[in-house]
Amino acid sequence: MSNDFLLHAVGSMSEVAPISYRRIFNGYGIYHRGVQFAIIVNDRLYFRADEHSRDLYIAKRMSAFLPASVTTTESNFFQLPEDVLSQPAELIYWMRIAVEAAQHNHSIDNQESGVDMLVRHTKLR
C-alpha cells in the first residue's frame, strides 16, 4: 500500500469531516467518531454500505470489495471513484451514506461486544 494514497485520501476526507484511522490486516480502517465507515486496501478507498444504501453504490457501478478468500458473500464495502476525493460536496454526500450504514452496523455490533478499538487521530501538517 502506498503511503501517498493513504495521505491523499485521509487528507481529503479530513477536510470535510473529522476522521481517524488505524492499521488493519492489509490496509487501514477509516473512522468518524469511533465508527468505521471506510477501508483502504491496495490503494483503493471503499465505503461501507448496508441494506438501505447498497443499491446506491451498485447504481453508480462502484466495485464491491471482496477479499480473495471470500466468494459467496455480499460485500459491505464499495470502491469510491478516486475523483470524488477532489469534490468536497460529492465526498461529504458519500461519507454521510457510509457513516449512516456504519452506525447502523456499529450499534448492532456493540450490543454483542463492549470492546472499543483505539484509533489514531489524523493531524495534518
CA dihedral 1, 59, 92, 63 (to 10 degrees): 0
| Over residues 106-111, mean pLDDT | 50
Q: Which cell numbers in the block locate residue 10?
A: 485521509
CATH code (residue 102): 3.30.1460.30
Q: Is the pLDDT of residue 51 over 80?
A: yes
122 found inside a domain: no
Q: Report the half-sphere exposure of 97 (CA within 13 A, side-chain side).
A: 21
95 found inside a domain: yes
Q: How do residues 61-100 score in pLDDT, each as one tens digit? A: 888 887 666 555 667 899 998 889 999 999 999 999 999 9
Give the Å distances, CA to CA, from 13 to 22, 34, 40, 95, 102: 15, 15, 12, 8, 16
Query: In whole angstroms, what is the distance from residue 110 CA to residue 60 CA?
Result: 31
91 found inside a domain: yes
78 found inside a domain: yes
Q: How do residues 1-41 score in pLDDT, each as one tens digit? A: 679 999 999 999 999 999 999 999 889 999 999 999 999 99
Task: Give the closest residue to 119 by CA, choosing from 2, 16, 23.
Answer: 23
Count of domains forming the chain: 1
Domain that holds residue 95: 3-111
57 found inside a domain: yes
